[in-house]
Amino acid sequence: MKLFNLFITSLFLASLTFAETDSLTIIKKEFYQATEDTSAYVRIFYPQISNLNNQSVQNKINSLLETEFMQAKNWFNDFIADTDYISEFPPDWVFSFETDFRVTLNNTDFLSLVLDYYEYTGGAHGNYYSIGYNIRLSDGEILTLKDILKPNSLQALSEFCVEEILNMFDANSLNDAGFFEDDLDISDDQDFYITPDALVIQFDPYEVAPFAMGSIEVKLKFSQIKNILKENLIYNKQ
Protein backbone atom coordinates (compact mmCIF):
# COMPACT_ATOMS: atom_id res chain seq x y z
CA MET A 1 0.00 0.00 0.00
CA LYS A 2 1.17 3.50 -0.79
CA LEU A 3 0.51 4.85 2.65
CA PHE A 4 2.20 8.21 2.47
CA ASN A 5 0.98 9.35 -0.93
CA LEU A 6 -2.43 10.63 0.11
CA PHE A 7 -5.38 11.63 -1.97
CA ILE A 8 -7.13 14.34 0.00
CA THR A 9 -10.43 16.05 -0.56
CA SER A 10 -12.49 18.26 1.70
CA LEU A 11 -16.15 18.57 0.79
CA PHE A 12 -18.39 21.04 2.59
CA LEU A 13 -22.07 20.31 2.18
CA ALA A 14 -24.71 22.93 2.97
CA SER A 15 -27.37 20.29 3.51
CA LEU A 16 -29.95 21.48 5.98
CA THR A 17 -30.90 18.92 8.58
CA PHE A 18 -33.00 20.99 10.98
CA ALA A 19 -34.44 24.40 10.19
CA GLU A 20 -37.57 25.40 12.04
CA THR A 21 -38.85 28.79 13.10
CA ASP A 22 -37.95 28.24 16.73
CA SER A 23 -34.72 26.29 16.19
CA LEU A 24 -31.19 26.64 14.97
CA THR A 25 -30.13 25.83 11.46
CA ILE A 26 -27.82 22.80 11.48
CA ILE A 27 -25.53 22.39 8.48
CA LYS A 28 -23.93 19.02 7.79
CA LYS A 29 -20.37 19.28 6.51
CA GLU A 30 -18.10 16.52 5.27
CA PHE A 31 -14.37 15.88 5.35
CA TYR A 32 -12.88 12.93 3.46
CA GLN A 33 -9.29 11.73 3.21
CA ALA A 34 -7.87 8.45 1.89
CA THR A 35 -4.68 6.73 0.93
CA GLU A 36 -3.98 6.70 -2.81
CA ASP A 37 -5.05 3.07 -3.09
CA THR A 38 -8.09 3.72 -0.80
CA SER A 39 -6.97 0.92 1.51
CA ALA A 40 -7.65 3.29 4.42
CA TYR A 41 -9.90 6.30 4.66
CA VAL A 42 -11.51 8.74 7.06
CA ARG A 43 -14.95 10.26 6.42
CA ILE A 44 -16.22 12.82 8.88
CA PHE A 45 -19.70 14.31 8.84
CA TYR A 46 -19.85 17.09 11.39
CA PRO A 47 -22.41 19.72 12.40
CA GLN A 48 -22.15 23.49 12.23
CA ILE A 49 -24.85 25.86 13.46
CA SER A 50 -26.14 29.13 12.07
CA ASN A 51 -28.70 31.84 12.87
CA LEU A 52 -27.80 32.01 16.57
CA ASN A 53 -28.29 35.58 17.79
CA ASN A 54 -24.91 35.70 19.55
CA GLN A 55 -22.18 35.38 16.89
CA SER A 56 -19.35 34.82 19.40
CA VAL A 57 -21.24 31.97 21.05
CA GLN A 58 -22.04 30.51 17.65
CA ASN A 59 -18.34 30.60 16.72
CA LYS A 60 -17.45 28.97 20.04
CA ILE A 61 -19.90 26.11 19.47
CA ASN A 62 -18.87 25.56 15.87
CA SER A 63 -15.19 25.49 16.80
CA LEU A 64 -15.87 22.96 19.56
CA LEU A 65 -17.91 20.67 17.32
CA GLU A 66 -15.42 20.77 14.46
CA THR A 67 -12.52 20.04 16.82
CA GLU A 68 -14.32 17.12 18.49
CA PHE A 69 -15.36 15.47 15.24
CA MET A 70 -12.01 16.07 13.53
CA GLN A 71 -10.20 13.93 16.10
CA ALA A 72 -10.97 11.04 13.74
CA LYS A 73 -8.63 12.65 11.20
CA ASN A 74 -5.74 12.56 13.69
CA TRP A 75 -6.44 8.91 14.49
CA PHE A 76 -6.44 8.11 10.76
CA ASN A 77 -3.08 9.84 10.27
CA ASP A 78 -1.58 8.01 13.26
CA PHE A 79 -2.91 4.71 11.95
CA ILE A 80 -1.54 4.95 8.41
CA ALA A 81 1.85 5.94 9.84
CA ASP A 82 2.08 2.55 11.60
CA THR A 83 3.18 0.56 8.55
CA ASP A 84 4.42 -2.41 10.61
CA TYR A 85 0.96 -2.92 12.11
CA ILE A 86 -0.89 -2.56 8.82
CA SER A 87 1.44 -4.99 7.03
CA GLU A 88 0.18 -7.79 9.30
CA PHE A 89 -3.24 -7.81 7.59
CA PRO A 90 -4.38 -9.12 4.17
CA PRO A 91 -3.76 -6.65 1.33
CA ASP A 92 -7.46 -6.49 0.38
CA TRP A 93 -8.63 -5.21 3.78
CA VAL A 94 -10.00 -1.68 3.98
CA PHE A 95 -9.52 0.30 7.18
CA SER A 96 -11.92 3.09 8.03
CA PHE A 97 -12.59 5.91 10.48
CA GLU A 98 -16.06 7.42 10.25
CA THR A 99 -18.22 9.89 12.17
CA ASP A 100 -21.77 11.09 11.77
CA PHE A 101 -24.25 12.79 14.07
CA ARG A 102 -27.85 12.86 15.24
CA VAL A 103 -29.67 15.97 16.45
CA THR A 104 -31.96 14.97 19.33
CA LEU A 105 -33.10 18.39 20.56
CA ASN A 106 -32.92 21.73 18.78
CA ASN A 107 -34.55 24.93 19.97
CA THR A 108 -33.56 28.54 20.57
CA ASP A 109 -32.21 27.78 24.07
CA PHE A 110 -30.63 24.36 23.85
CA LEU A 111 -28.99 21.93 21.44
CA SER A 112 -28.42 18.26 22.09
CA LEU A 113 -26.71 16.10 19.50
CA VAL A 114 -24.88 12.80 19.37
CA LEU A 115 -21.58 12.01 17.67
CA ASP A 116 -21.59 8.44 16.31
CA TYR A 117 -18.10 7.05 15.65
CA TYR A 118 -17.08 3.84 13.90
CA GLU A 119 -13.63 2.49 13.08
CA TYR A 120 -12.26 -0.66 11.58
CA THR A 121 -8.56 -1.20 12.21
CA GLY A 122 -8.35 -4.96 11.77
CA GLY A 123 -9.69 -7.92 13.68
CA ALA A 124 -13.02 -9.71 13.90
CA HIS A 125 -15.14 -6.56 13.92
CA GLY A 126 -15.02 -2.79 14.00
CA ASN A 127 -15.51 -0.68 17.08
CA TYR A 128 -17.99 2.09 17.65
CA TYR A 129 -19.17 4.50 20.31
CA SER A 130 -21.33 7.59 20.76
CA ILE A 131 -20.84 10.89 22.61
CA GLY A 132 -23.63 13.27 23.56
CA TYR A 133 -23.07 17.03 23.38
CA ASN A 134 -25.63 18.98 25.40
CA ILE A 135 -25.09 22.66 24.71
CA ARG A 136 -26.61 25.69 26.44
CA LEU A 137 -26.95 28.27 23.71
CA SER A 138 -26.80 31.34 25.94
CA ASP A 139 -23.06 30.80 26.50
CA GLY A 140 -22.08 27.70 24.49
CA GLU A 141 -21.30 25.64 27.59
CA ILE A 142 -21.50 21.84 27.54
CA LEU A 143 -23.73 20.55 30.34
CA THR A 144 -22.97 17.51 32.46
CA LEU A 145 -25.31 15.53 34.69
CA LYS A 146 -24.51 17.74 37.68
CA ASP A 147 -25.89 20.69 35.73
CA ILE A 148 -29.32 19.13 35.35
CA LEU A 149 -29.70 16.96 38.47
CA LYS A 150 -30.37 18.08 42.01
CA PRO A 151 -27.41 17.55 44.38
CA ASN A 152 -26.81 13.98 45.56
CA SER A 153 -29.13 12.49 42.93
CA LEU A 154 -26.76 10.15 41.09
CA GLN A 155 -27.75 7.14 43.19
CA ALA A 156 -31.41 7.78 42.45
CA LEU A 157 -30.61 8.18 38.75
CA SER A 158 -28.76 4.86 38.82
CA GLU A 159 -31.81 3.20 40.36
CA PHE A 160 -34.11 4.68 37.72
CA CYS A 161 -31.75 3.33 35.05
CA VAL A 162 -31.70 -0.15 36.55
CA GLU A 163 -35.49 -0.22 36.70
CA GLU A 164 -35.77 0.85 33.07
CA ILE A 165 -33.11 -1.63 31.92
CA LEU A 166 -34.93 -4.51 33.62
CA ASN A 167 -38.09 -3.46 31.78
CA MET A 168 -36.21 -3.19 28.48
CA PHE A 169 -34.79 -6.70 28.76
CA ASP A 170 -37.69 -8.25 30.68
CA ALA A 171 -35.20 -9.43 33.31
CA ASN A 172 -35.15 -9.79 37.10
CA SER A 173 -31.58 -8.54 37.50
CA LEU A 174 -28.83 -6.89 35.47
CA ASN A 175 -26.93 -10.18 35.42
CA ASP A 176 -30.00 -11.91 34.01
CA ALA A 177 -30.15 -9.21 31.34
CA GLY A 178 -26.55 -10.00 30.37
CA PHE A 179 -24.70 -7.14 32.07
CA PHE A 180 -21.24 -7.57 33.59
CA GLU A 181 -22.29 -6.42 37.06
CA ASP A 182 -25.52 -6.70 38.99
CA ASP A 183 -25.54 -3.03 39.95
CA LEU A 184 -25.07 0.29 38.19
CA ASP A 185 -23.04 3.22 39.48
CA ILE A 186 -23.56 6.29 37.31
CA SER A 187 -21.03 9.10 37.77
CA ASP A 188 -21.09 12.81 36.89
CA ASP A 189 -19.29 12.18 33.60
CA GLN A 190 -21.66 9.49 32.30
CA ASP A 191 -22.56 10.10 28.69
CA PHE A 192 -26.10 11.24 27.88
CA TYR A 193 -28.25 13.22 25.51
CA ILE A 194 -31.61 14.93 25.71
CA THR A 195 -34.80 14.64 23.68
CA PRO A 196 -37.89 16.85 23.96
CA ASP A 197 -39.34 14.64 26.67
CA ALA A 198 -36.51 12.56 28.12
CA LEU A 199 -32.99 12.19 29.44
CA VAL A 200 -31.21 9.35 27.64
CA ILE A 201 -28.28 7.67 29.37
CA GLN A 202 -26.05 5.87 26.91
CA PHE A 203 -23.55 3.06 27.39
CA ASP A 204 -21.08 2.07 24.67
CA PRO A 205 -20.28 -1.54 23.76
CA TYR A 206 -18.14 -3.20 26.46
CA GLU A 207 -18.94 -0.40 28.94
CA VAL A 208 -21.48 -2.35 31.01
CA ALA A 209 -22.21 -5.40 28.84
CA PRO A 210 -20.57 -7.61 26.18
CA PHE A 211 -19.98 -6.29 22.67
CA ALA A 212 -22.72 -8.55 21.30
CA MET A 213 -25.30 -6.51 23.22
CA GLY A 214 -24.23 -3.38 21.36
CA SER A 215 -24.72 0.12 22.66
CA ILE A 216 -27.43 0.51 25.28
CA GLU A 217 -29.56 3.65 25.54
CA VAL A 218 -31.79 4.08 28.58
CA LYS A 219 -34.58 6.58 28.03
CA LEU A 220 -35.88 8.20 31.20
CA LYS A 221 -38.94 10.38 30.70
CA PHE A 222 -38.75 13.75 32.46
CA SER A 223 -42.07 12.94 34.10
CA GLN A 224 -40.51 9.78 35.52
CA ILE A 225 -37.46 11.50 37.07
CA LYS A 226 -38.90 14.96 37.79
CA ASN A 227 -38.12 14.70 41.51
CA ILE A 228 -34.37 14.61 40.88
CA LEU A 229 -34.22 17.25 38.13
CA LYS A 230 -33.35 20.84 38.81
CA GLU A 231 -36.21 23.26 38.34
CA ASN A 232 -36.77 25.49 35.29
CA LEU A 233 -34.47 23.57 32.97
CA ILE A 234 -34.28 25.38 29.66
CA TYR A 235 -34.73 22.25 27.54
CA ASN A 236 -37.67 20.84 29.49
CA LYS A 237 -40.63 22.92 28.41
CA GLN A 238 -43.33 20.34 29.03
What pLDDT tens digit does each residue of the chain (238 aa) get? 433 344 444 444 434 444 444 678 999 999 999 999 999 999 999 999 999 999 999 999 999 999 999 999 999 999 999 999 999 999 999 999 999 999 999 988 999 999 999 999 998 899 999 999 999 999 999 999 999 999 999 999 999 999 999 999 999 999 999 999 999 999 999 999 999 999 999 999 999 999 999 999 999 999 999 999 998 887 775 5
Q: Which residues contact 133 (CB under 8 A, 6 or more apart)?
A: 64, 65, 68, 111, 112, 113, 114, 115, 142, 193
What pLDDT was estimated at residue 220?
A: 98
What pLDDT was estimated at residue 108?
A: 83
What pLDDT was estimated at residue 45?
A: 98
What pLDDT was estimated at residue 16?
A: 40
In order of their start, the domains of the chain are: 6-142 (3.30.565.40), 145-228 (3.90.640.20)
What pLDDT was estimated at residue 235?
A: 79
What pLDDT was estimated at residue 114?
A: 98
Using CA atoms, how far residue 91 sits from 16, 39, 96, 122, 220, in Å, is: 39, 8, 14, 12, 46
What pLDDT was estimated at residue 237?
A: 59
Q: Are 106 and 23 in contact (CB under 8 A)?
A: yes
DSSP string, the chain: ---SSEEEEEEEEEEEEE--TTS-EEEEEEEEEEETT-SEEEEEEEEEEE--S-HHHHHHHHHHHHHHHTHHHHHHHHHHH-HHHHTTS-TT--EEEEEEEEEEEE-SSEEEEEEEEEEE-SSSS-EEEEEEEEEETTTTEEP-HHHHBPTT-HHHHHHHHHHHHHHHHT-SSHHHHT-SSSS----TT--EEEETTEEEEEE-TTTSS-GGG--EEEEEEHHHHGGGBPTT-TT---
Q: Parallel, antiparallel, or unpaired: how do β-strands 127-136 and 110-120 relate?
A: antiparallel
pTM: 0.89
What pLDDT was estimated at residue 228?
A: 96
